[in-house]
Amino acid sequence: MLKEQLKEWIEAYLKDTDYELITLNVSAGNDILVEVDRLAGVDVDFCAELNRYLVEKLDQTPIDYSLEVGSVSLTDPFKTRMQFEKNLGHDVEALVEGKKFRGQLVSVDEETFSVDCEEKVAVEGKKRKETQIVTHTWRYEEPKYVKYDLRF
């Protein structure tokens, strides 16, 4: 019940902003985690304002709680299309059917996204495989995860 009420409050607060709710977790002990994101990046002042708003609402309830409001981590998997759009042109890692793919996120649309990966491929008439750019396109639900690739 608390989670539904929190979601309602958060969505009302975010309604006229370009922020999206990415994560809302409420533990059995009422430890609350709220993560937001937007294309232009997350402003710490916005998170502080959202935190104050939620504290004001929660303090009107009889429950004990702890609250953490912030942005998603760079190492967290993408959960919304907006996060894919935000990382367009960046290096990503995708786990699809047990295989990791690393490359540049090159396109995002309503149903799919594409990643350009360097791969060794067989070339007709040559004995050795050559490294080429191979574009992989997946539906958003296909990968187990897609996340920003922090490798250098």
User: Residue 152's pLDDT is what?
Assistant: 55
Looking at 16-20, 72-76, 97-101, which range is the least confident one?
72-76
User: Tell me: domain 81-148, CATH 3.40.50.1370, correct?
Assistant: no
pTM for the model: 0.85
Q: Architecture of 2-71 per CATH?
A: 2-Layer Sandwich (3.30)
Segments of the chain assigned E as strands? 20-26, 31-37, 66-71, 91-96, 99-108, 112-121, 130-139, 145-148
| Residue 121, CA atoms < 13 Å, CB-side half-sphere | 10
Same fold, 2-71 and 81-148: no
Q: What's the mean pLDDT in 23-51?
A: 96
Q: Over the stretch 63-92, which tens digit does the pLDDT of each residue have?
A: 899 999 999 998 899 999 999 999 999 999
Report domain extents, the chain: 2-71, 81-148
